[in-house]
Amino acid sequence: MEAVDPAGEFAANLHTLVSHLTERHDDLPTLPTLPAPETVQSTIASLPATLPDAGLGTTATASYLLNDILPGCLSAQNGPNYFGFVVGGVTPAAQLADILVGAYDENVQVTLPGQTAATAIEARVLELVLDLMGVERAKFGGRTITTGATASNVLGMACAREYLYAHSPHLPKDYSFARSGPPSSPNLPSPPIIVLALHPHFSILKAAALVGIGSGPNVVHQIPCQEEDELAFDLAALEKRLAEEKEVGRGVVVVYGLGEVNTGELGRDPPRVAELCRTYGAWLHIDAAFGGFASVVPELRHLVEGMDQADSLTLDGHKWLNVPYDCGLFYTKSAHALPGVFAPVEAPAYLTASSTSAGTAGPQDGQVIHEQVPSPLYVNIENSRRFRALPLLASLMSLGKDGYRDLIRRNIKFAQSIATYLHNSPFYDLLNTYPGADAAKQGIIPLNIVLFAPARGGSLETGAELANAINATRRMYVTATKWRGRGAVRLAVSNWRTGLGGEEEVKRIVGILEEVMRESGKSGM
């Protein structure tokens, strides 16, 4: 058999792959949002029952992936018609950079001054995100890139746990859970730390469980909301509870959500919540995975006022920043908080040449001081991690502040237009309108999420039925949810392409919604 030229084979398959990606990039606005069910089954059927002794080789494997495997996967999750899970998309620059990340395959684990600039690049990118949001870099001395909001929430809960045990009146000063494990003092209240929240995302509960705080109802407590706003803390009730817990010496993590997952609601009064946390020694963790980026738009910045007063802050890059999965962002006030949890007492010998400094990345307007950049493995969960900062840098540089402002404004305008249609339709109920909202004006919904349900008594009685009917068209995608005990549909707008088509694009989506109702037995559409 003729020997295969590895270099030539790679080049030929790379050409095929580039052609595929180019065609997909051009066709993404019109691609079906979902594969057909029979295509999914065909992909599953193509999987080998066992690993063969003889490999297929590069060319046959590439063909197998393109022709048998990928057709059964989500075909347009990063396209403009996919409105599920606030996933965002991938800007062209970010997509190109991500291809380079795979090609270079650098493990961004250790700061190696003079050997690789990767960690210095990451340090500056984390500052650029703060610049984009109009947040002073000095507000958050601890920063890192994670796999997503869940990992960032884990970091936040870990930092909170360390702080609260270190300041507990029942334990030795600066007690460290990370170093000494669960404390055994008989004076500690049970549970020793609780979480106070309104509607915490599931990832908060997972994070609290993972770091040993706990996620059950004896640990996670729901604070009453304001009478006129179910997504804002009743501040009097919050202060009363904080005072009670301080009296018994129990640690408290207050979780404030900026961008409720079902409604996009941002709540209100984060500055006052932050003030109460400071007064009573509680840790304030703000989960602003997508809502925090309202700060990018000047006319929306008031909605997230006080975000910079958080003790820890979670953001997502693969949502509204439109960089590839996976990319989360974590910020905390003290540069020493993360190493206090994740840095070893003594660094492994083979890593001793790297920097373990917890210092910040240099002056705001100067060059990054590489020697002061902490090694990521000392401030994060992972030891091995891909170069996530590169696609983020590419997207930030390609769009700049003006480009991101346009993206967010365009997404919100699109969502508002769909919400206005639903509000005026006799066949749908819009569920996340502001009280007293004027349907004739923009601002009928809080941000970029449209929450709706079929009108009561209609042919489609539940949110799940409606979501399935919409998704079956394969021309748009939404998710089913529940709100106030009612089945509903969530349409989340966060893709950089969505809204580029203006009113015609809105009409097309409205047409799909009308078609679904016609086919379900509605009339008069």
Is 66 within a domain? yes
In sequence order, which residues have a C-beta less than 8 Å from that of residue 45 and are 6 or more positions away? none
Predicted confidence band at 365 (pLDDT cuts at 50, 70, 90)?
low
Number of domains comprising the chain: 2
Rounded (5°) CA angle 131-135-141: 95
Structure tokens at 245: 């817990």
Give the Å distances, CA to CA, from 482 to 95, 139, 229, 463.
34, 37, 18, 8
Is 388 within a domain? no
pLDDT at 359: 45
pLDDT, tens digit (0-9, with 9 covering 90-100), for 317-352: 999 999 999 999 999 999 999 999 999 887 777 776
Residue 436: is its pLDDT beyond 60? no
Is 208 within a domain? no
**8 Å CB contact between 252 and 226:** no
Is 67 within a domain? yes
Q: Which residue has the tokens 């063909």?
A: 63
Q: What is the dihedral of CA 405, 406, 407, 408, to 10 degrees?
A: 50
Is 11 within a domain? yes
CATH number at residue 418: 3.90.1150.10
Across the range 129-154, mean pLDDT stands at 97
Predicted confidence band at 209 (pLDDT cuts at 50, 70, 90)?
very high
Give the Å distances, CA to CA, from 499 to 22, 132, 243, 448, 510.
22, 21, 47, 12, 13
HSE-CB for 192 with a 13 A CA cutoff: 22
SS3 452: strand
**8 Å CB contact between 138 and 324:** no
Predicted confidence band at 435 (pLDDT cuts at 50, 70, 90)?
low
- Domain stops at, among 52, 73, 94: 73
d(CA 265, CA 257) in angstroms, rounded, equals 9
Mean pLDDT lowest for which of 124-128, 433-437, 460-464? Answer: 433-437
pLDDT, tens digit (0-9, with 9 covering 90-100), for 380-419: 999 999 999 999 999 999 999 999 999 999 999 999 999 9
pTM: predicted TM-score of the whole model, two decimal places: 0.94
Residue 362: is its pLDDT beyond 90? no
- Domain stops at, among 22, 55, 73: 73
Q: What is the dihedral of CA 120, 297, 294, 92, to 10 degrees?
A: -60
pLDDT, tens digit (0-9, with 9 covering 90-100), for 148-189: 999 999 999 999 999 999 999 999 999 999 999 999 899 999
SS3 19: helix
d(CA 131, CA 40) in angstroms, rounded, equals 43
Cβ count within 10 A of residue 237? 14
Reply yes or no: is the peptide bond before residue 191 cis, omega within 30 of 0: yes
DSSP per-residue string spanning 411-426: HHHHHHHHHHHHHH-T
Is 263 within a domain? no
Cβ count within 10 A of residue 519? 14
Is 450 within a domain? yes
Q: Which residue has the tokens 């684990």?
A: 109
Query: Is the C-alpha dihedral spanning 319, 213, 257, 252 positive or negative?
Result: negative
Is 329 within a domain? no
**Residue-range definition of the domain harbouring residue 49:** 6-30+35-73
